[in-house]
Every structure is written in C-alpha cells, then in structure tokens.
Amino acid sequence: MRHDKLKEFRSEMGAGQEKMADLIGVPKRTYQNWEQPPESPNHRKIPKEMADRVHSLVSLRMENDSSDYLPKEIIWLQVPVLPHELEALDRKSRIEDQHRMVLLRAFLFDGLKS
C-alpha cells in the first residue's frame, strides 16, 4: 500500500494518525513513518498484514454505511487456516488476495454456508 493511499483512507475515515495507529495495533510513530513519502528519511513501507488491517477497517466503515464510523476498539485475530480451506474460501468468494481478511471475518462471525 502506498503512503498516500494510507493517508487517504485515514482521512476518509475521519481519524487522526494516533487513532488509526491504535486501531491497527501499532505505535503512533510507526504509523506516521508509513505515511511519510518515500523520499523522506523516516519513510517505512507498511507491512502487508497491517495494510490488510487498514483495508478491513475501510470495509467495516463501508458496511456500516457511515462516513464517520470508527470502532471504539478492535481485536485482531490471527486464525490458522489450512490450505485446502483457504482454496475453498477463494473459490466461494472469488475475491482478490488483499481482501481475504474481510472474508475470514465473515466466515468466522457470520458463518458462511456451503
């Protein structure tokens, strides 16, 4: 995820850097470094797992049909999934790789039916 896209998502959600850092579970300074342009000496690339969390937050906001929706707190779960289970989920959902977190959340909490 590019630094400008990260900043754009945060702005759309109406959150400050400190709130976003808190929601995805990283220190504020780490989050600030991700938003720095690549030419900045403090720039750090956002890890894929954290980019997935940002995408999940954006999806939550869209699902709640509110431009100012932000959860008060969120707990991130890492759920082990066997390769054949993931393949079945991929076939069923036909989604892109970066949106698997949203699908897994739906599978775990909404109970996808086969």
- The token pair that represents 102 in the structure block: 């949203």
**Mean of pLDDT values over 26-46:** 93
Residue 109 sits in which domain range? 77-114
DSSP classification of residue 47: P
- The pLDDT assigned to 96 comes to 55
Same domain, 34 and 81: no
Same domain, 58 and 88: no
- The pLDDT assigned to 1 comes to 83
Q: Which of these, 44, 35, 41, lies nearest to 3 by C-alpha position? A: 35
Note the pLDDT tens digit of each residue in 60-110.
776 666 555 566 666 665 666 677 877 777 666 655 555 666 666 666 655
Long-range contacts of 69-77 (CB under 8 A, 24+ apart): 69/13, 70/13, 70/14, 70/15, 70/19, 70/23, 71/23, 73/22, 73/23, 74/23, 76/24, 76/25, 77/108
Same domain, 58 and 83: no
What is the total count of domains within the chain?
2
Same domain, 86 and 114: yes
- The token pair that represents 67 in the structure block: 């431009």
> Does 25 fall in a domain?
yes
User: Rounded to whole angstroms, how far apart are CA atoms 9 and 111?
Assistant: 28
| CATH label of the domain that carries residue 43 | 1.10.260.40
Which is more confident, 31 or 88?
31
> Does 68 fall in a domain?
no
- The pLDDT assigned to 103 comes to 63
